[in-house]
Structure 1
Amino acid sequence: MRRVQTSFLGVAFFALVFSCNSGPRADGGTLDTGVEPLRLATPRKLLPFVPLEDGRVLAAGGHDGQRTLSSCEVFEPETGMWSLTGSMHKARRNHAVVRLLDGRVLVTGGTQVVAPGALADAEVYAPASGLWTQVAPMFEARNDPSALLLPDGRVLVAGGTDADRRPLRSAELFDPMTGTWAPATPPGFVRGGAGTAVMLAQGKALFVSGLQAELYDVATGRWEKAGFAGGAAGTHRQGHSVTLLPDGRVLVVGGGTARASSTAEVYDAVTGLWTLVAAPSVAREHHAAVVTPEGQVLVLGGEHPMAGALASVERFDPMTGQWASAPALTEPRGLPGALTLRDGSVLLVGGANEVAGMLDTSEQYLPTGCVPVTCETREATCGAVPDGCGGMLECAPCVVEGCDAQQCSAEGLTRR
C-alpha cells in the first residue's frame, strides 16, 4: 500500500491501492482471489466514472491498455474497496455515461476498437441488482459523444464521431420512461467529449467543444451560439475540462492546441459573455477537474505536449480568478477519472503515464486538513524525506550495505 501524501494547503492526497473480489470477467481470464483496499481489479482509462445515488462509484468499461472492457466495478467509500458488479452486454470505451433521476445509469455509444469504429448500442445499469439491461439503440452510432441529463429526466446526446471518425452534427433524446430515443434538433456545430456539457440554472444546457460553444434550450429544443467563436481565448478546444461553478458560471480549462492548453476562461450565463481569467501555471489537456466543498476547482494531472503525463495539481479560486499550486500527485496521470464523494473528498482514479503504463491505483484529496506522515509509517525509510505537509522528516540516517544489525539497532539506524 502506498503511504499518505499531504500538503501545506490543508489538504491531503492519499495514494491508495484498488482491488476487486474474485470471479470471472467477461473480458476473459480470472481475477486474483486476494483483495487489497483501493486498487482497481483492472487498470482503466477512456471512461467516465459516475457517482451512484447511494454514494458509491461505478466504473463501467474503458480500456486497460490492451483491450476494450465490458467488466464493471463499484467503489464503496466506507470500506475503500472496489468489487465486481455485472458486466455490460458490450465492451466499450469513449462512451457516454449519465446517472438518471431514478438512480439508474445510462451508458451509450463509444467504440470497441482502437481503429475507427462507433457503437449505437445503449444499456442501463440498476445499482440495486448490479445488472445491465439493453435498451433501444441510438439512431446514430457515436464514438465519444457529449451527454447530459436534462431537468425533465431525459438525456440529450449530441455529436461524437461516426465509424469513420467523421464528426457528427446531430443530437437525440433518450426517454428513461420508455427506454427509447427520439431525434432532437441538430446543433449548429459538431460536438463531442465526455464532461463537456453542463446544465445551467436558466433552463439551458451549455456545450463547450470545438470552436463554437452552444446553448440548448430545454423548453424549445433549439440551439443558439454561446458567445463568439473560440470564446475569450479564441481557440478550438478538445481534451479540456468544463466545470460548473457554485455561482452558476462555467470554467473551461486547457485543451489540445497550444493556445487552449495554456489558457482558462469563464462563461457567464447571465451576460452570455466569455472572460479570460488568469492562466494556470502548467499547460495541460486530458486532465480532471472537480469542485471542492469550499467552492474551488481542483485541476489534476493530465498531459503536457512536451512533458507527457503530469503530476501537477492547481487550485482555482472563483472569487479571485486566480490559481494556486496544490500538492502534486504521487504518480503522473494522463486521462484520469475524478469525482467528489459524499464526505467531500475527491477521488482520482486510474489513467496512465509513460513509466508505469496503465494505472490501477488512485489518490484521494481530503479537505479535512493535512495529516503528516511519520518515519514509523514510512517503513524502511531513512534520511530526509517529505512529510506530505510541506515539511521534511529527518528519519534515521541511511547506512551502507553490510551494517551490522546489532550496531544499526544500537545507533538507531535504518537498513535500506
Structure 2
Amino acid sequence: MSAVRGAHIAVKLGNEKVLVSGGDGGSGYLNTADLYDPIANTWTAVSPMNFKRCDHVASILSNGSVFVAGGSSGTDLATAEIYNPTTNTWTNTSSMSVARYSPTISVLSNGKILVAGGNHGGSFSNVADLYDPSTGTWAVTGSMNCARFGHAAAVLSNGNVLVTGGCAANSIAEIYDVSTETWTVTGSMMSIRQYHTTSQLTNGTVLVAGGIISTSTYLNSAELY
C-alpha cells in the first residue's frame, strides 16, 4: 500500500478491486485511500477522504459506491462520506446523531444502513442510527438494551440483525427487528466476549469465535447461535 496503516477498513467493489481507507499510520491518523487490483496485483493511491478516520465503518451501496461513517480523527466523528469509484471522488453526506468509533454496520434488506453502538466520548454507546441512501439522511432508531463497544453484528436470514458482545461484563445478545425498529434480548452467549467475529453460515446459524474477556484473557472458544 502507499502507507502503513492499522485499524483501517477494506471493502470489495463490484469490479473485484478492493478499496482500503484511513487507519492509524503510526504517527497520526490517515485520510488516504488505496485501491488494490487483484488482476494486476498492484496498489494505486486514490483520492483521499475528506476526514482522517481510524476505527470507522464502511459498506457498499447498491449503486456501487462506498459508504464510510464515523471513526476517530483524534476526536470522535459523526460525519459520513461516499466514494464514487467512477469519478474517484469523495462526497460528504449527512452526519449521524452521535460521534462514535468502532460501531457495527449492517446493510438491511430494505437498503438502509444500520450503525449501532461504539465508543462515544470515552463511553460505550447504545445509540443506533439508520442511514437512507435514497435520501442521504439519518434517522435515530431504537436504542440497544445494552451499551456496546467491541461488539459484532450479523444480518440474519430473516433480515433482522443479531448483535453480540461488547456489553461490559455481560454476555447477553439482542436482535434488531427491521419492521418494528426495536431491539429484543435473545439470551446470553456461553462466554462474555469483546472484539470477536461473527459469520453467518449457509444453514442460517451464526458462528461466534474468539475475542477477549479482558486485556489479559483471550479466547479460542467458539459457539453457534
**Superposition TM-score tier, normalisation by shorter sequence:** over 0.9
Alignment of 1:171-320 (within 5 A): 171-193=128-150, 196-210=152-166, 211-228=171-188, 231=189, 233=190, 235-257=191-213, 261-267=219-225
Structure with the higher fraction of residues in strand conformation: 2
Give runs of ≥4 in structure 1 deviating > 3 Å: none
> For 1:108, which of 50, 69, 72 is the aligned residue?
69
Counterpart code for 1:252:
V
Cα drift, residue 96 of structure 1: 1.0
Cα drift, residue 236 of structure 1: 2.1
Q: Distance in 1 between matches of 2:217 and 2:51?
A: 38
Cα drift, residue 260 of structure 1: 5.8
Counterpart code for 1:151:
S
Report the TM-score, using the length of structure 1 for normalisation. 0.51
CA contact (8 A) 1:203 1:219 kept: no
> For 2:116, which of 158, 169, 177 is the aligned residue?
158
Q: Name the structure 2 match of 1:99.
A: 60
Q: Name the structure 2 match of 1:169.
A: 126
Alignment of 1:316-327 (within 5 A): none
Q: Distance in 1 between matches of 2:198 and 2:223?
A: 10
Cα drift, residue 110 of structure 1: 0.6
Q: Distance in 1 between matches of 2:140 and 2:147?
A: 16
Counterpart code for 2:103:
P
Q: Distance in 1 between matches of 2:19 and 2:153?
A: 20
Counterpart code for 2:184:
E
- Cα distance per residue 1:33-73 (max 9 Å; x no partner): xxxxxxx1111210221111111101010112221000000
Gaps of 5+ in 1: 1-39, 268-416
Q: Distance in 2 between matches of 1:48 and 1:244?
A: 20
Q: Distance in 1 between matches of 2:194 and 2:59?
A: 20
Cα drift, residue 83 of structure 1: 0.3
- Cα distance per residue 1:202-223 (max 9 Å; x no partner): 1211111223211111111111
Q: Distance in 2 between matches of 1:255 and 1:177?
A: 36
> For 2:104, which of 146, 149, 171 is the aligned residue?
146
Which structure is higher in RCO with an 8 Å CA cutoff and minimum separation 6?
1
> For 1:118, which of 76, 83, 97 is the aligned residue?
76
Cα drift, residue 161 of structure 1: 1.2
- Cα distance per residue 1:110-154 (max 9 Å; x no partner): 1012xxx31111101111111100011111001111111111111
Counterpart code for 1:112:
S
SS in 1 for 2:31: strand
- Cα distance per residue 1:202-248 (max 9 Å; x no partner): 121111122321111111111111222xx1x2x32112111111222
Structure whose CA Rg is larger:
1
Q: Name the structure 2 match of 1:328.
A: none
User: Kindly, what percent of the aligned residue pairs are identical?
Assistant: 35
* Mapped pair 1:80 → 2:41: yes
Cα drift, residue 189 of structure 1: 0.9
Counterpart code for 1:153:
G
CA contact (8 A) 2:177 2:183 kept: yes
